Amino acid sequence: MTMHIPAPSDETMARLRTDLAERAAQRGLLDVAYAAVDSPVGPLTISVTDRGVVRIAYDNERLEDVLDELAAKVSPRILHAPARLDPARRELDEYFAGQRTVFDLPLDWTLTRGFRREVLKATARIPYAGTTTYNEIAAAAGSPRAFRAAGTALATNPIPIIVPCHRVLPASGAIGGYRGGSTRKQQLLRLESRQV
């Protein structure tokens, strides 16, 4: 006689994942927490460490690739732990609703170093609804002639939206490239211009 054991409900699985994440965190075994978040520019995967937000990925990036990058460069102790993302989720919701113009979240810069990190830190200072050029951001990062390297740093920005690389444009006035695609870059710029 074969017994049929029913699959656990989604609610049971969610509770088990939450319990696992809490136990791992209590025992110091959770270094990177991640969760999917809906947004007006499409689904995002947000990852945080004890230091802060370390990665935001758009849905044009494979989750497996993002987790592999985090495992190799941050820590292999990664768990789906949505509750740990509540502060980031709240601030992003406020941003998309036009209620937040400055993020207060701590950032973990582990995935960047050197000139790239300087470019991203300079980018983080661009005011809401403001824009600048690749040349200007390279100068702000300390290397005025390294605008191509600045462009590469922005194209690989691990924390888009919060580190607002969408606010950096070519000197020609074109929209330029963006990790999430040029359509998303335009959406973010329009969202900010409507809220000012």
Beta strands 44-48 and 32-37 are antiparallel
Q: Which tokens hold the place of 181?
A: 């695609």
DSSP secondary structure letter of residue 179: T
Q: How far is CA 138 from the centre of its chain?
A: 22
Catalytic residue chosen out of the listed positions 165, 168, 169, 188:
165
3-state secondary structure of 188: helix
Query: In angstroms, what is the C-alpha Rg of the chain?
Result: 19
Determine the Cα–Cα distance for residues 32 and 79; give it in Å rounded to an integer.
6
Q: Do 42 and 184 meet the contact criterion of CB atoms below 8 Å apart?
A: yes
Q: Is 195 a catalytic residue?
A: no
Q: Which of 138, 130, 179 is nearest to 159 (CA)?
A: 179
Q: Kindly list the distances between the CA atom of residue 75 and the CA atoms of 30, 33, 52, 78, 88, in Å, as whole numbers in the listed order.
A: 9, 11, 14, 7, 20
Q: Do 106 and 170 meet the contact criterion of CB atoms below 8 Å apart?
A: no
Q: Which residues are catalytic?
A: 165
